[in-house]
Amino acid sequence: MKKAFATAILFLVAGQLFAQKVKSISEKMNTSKEHYTFQLSDKVSRQKVSFKNRYGIILSGDLYLPKNAENQKLAALVISGAFGAVKQQSSGLYANQMAERGFIALAFDPSYTGESSGEPRNVASPDINTEDFSAAVDFLGLQKNVDRNKIGIIGICGFGGFALNATAIDKRVKAVATTSLYDMTRVMSKGYNDSVTLEQRTKTLEGLGEQRWKDAENGKPAYGTRNLPETLNGDEPQFVKEYFDYYRTPRGFHPNSVNSNGAWLITNAISFMNMPILSYVKEISPRPMLLIVGENAHSRYFSEDIFKVANEPKELLIIPDAVHVDLYDKVDVIPFDKLEQFFNENLK
């Protein structure tokens, strides 16, 4: 059972789990690209922005500003995630909440996804997605109303891992927080709880190599089957049911989201299986780290393991009874007061 679960999660993040054709979306879904899955606070303004990373990819973002800021230079936050999500989902909700608490907050679509540029579409990279955070720091540091010495990062789910990776190397970042952290390189290369065997890994890599031949022959990369199915059969792993409850229902659906409505490239996992992030997580110190995770999250071990190896100052906050996706959008569960306190204390 454990091996089956490990294989399932590996294929989910690689975009190959369900052999289902894309069907029409339920009328209950909001299929407008301008749709946001949360209500903008009346204390906050939002404006579309764009900026370029050092690979030349133009990233699309939403900048959230406290309306009462006037001409003050404020502390600022870069926010992205979850893995396969867009800025109209979790990261925008977080930015909205943190702007309401007095921070300038930038939520952005990662390279190759959402409204950001990059071809082919729906591909991820441990290097480029780490760079995306630093490019966002570049952008914020040029804004007249941002104090560039007071910039922090919040990473959600798989972008929690990229957030830590970016913070380790980018000393301009003064504090970092993650929620429902995933180390995407670890889970893609080793499976859930590191239970993928060498034989299974070798077989996967052989299959990816064969797919590269096919892509080369066709002159373009092929996409996997859709990340989440149209409907559930009922026998899926619990984590799949939880993802479905967010991405495939009116609660969190967005047409630009790979997890809501699309698929990763079949070869998406290749670089993740050979380039581990977080090798230098100890070098985040002496800057502070806050790891937030649900008590019942299937991903809990990622945060606990990073907490063990990271140097002080660090804090692990476990939210009672919460599962992984509860920290995507449940404002009564996500500890925004704690996040406000953490960044107020550490962005000085």
Closest Cα to residue 290, out of 217, 226, 343, 225? 343
**pLDDT computed for residue 28 by the predictor:** 61
Structure confidence at residue 70 (pLDDT): 74
Q: Contact at 8 Å (CB) between 253 and 262?
A: no
Q: Does the pLDDT value for residue 23 go beyond 50?
A: no
**Alpha carbons 175 and 167: distance in angstroms, whole number:** 8
Look at residue 11 in the predicted model and tell me its pLDDT: 43
Q: Which amino acid is at 74?
A: L
Query: If you average pLDDT over residues 232-236, what whole number do you get?
Result: 92
pTM as predicted: 0.93
Residue 69: predicted pLDDT: 80
What's the whole-number mean pLDDT along residues 229-252?
A: 94
Mean pLDDT of the chain: 92
Residue 154: strand pairing partners: 79, 177
301-348 residue pLDDT tens: 999 999 999 999 999 999 999 999 999 999 999 999 999 999 999 998
Q: What's the Rg (C-alpha) of the chain?
A: 19
Q: pLDDT at residue 10 above 90?
A: no
Q: What is the pLDDT of residues 161-199, one digit of tens each?
A: 999 999 999 999 999 999 999 999 999 999 999 999 999
- pLDDT, position 7: 41
Question: Which one-letter DSSP state was computed for residue 26?
Answer: P
Determine the pLDDT at residue 21: 35
Statement: residue 147 has pLDDT above 70? yes
Residue 159 in this model has a pLDDT that exceeds 80: yes
Percentage of the chain modeled with pLDDT above 70: 91
Q: How far is CA 83 from CA 36, 111, 157, 178, 313, in A?
A: 17, 12, 6, 13, 26
What was the pLDDT predicted at 348?
86
Question: Taking the C-alpha atoms of 125, 19, 8 and 133 in order, what is their torsion angle to the nearest 10 degrees?
Answer: 20
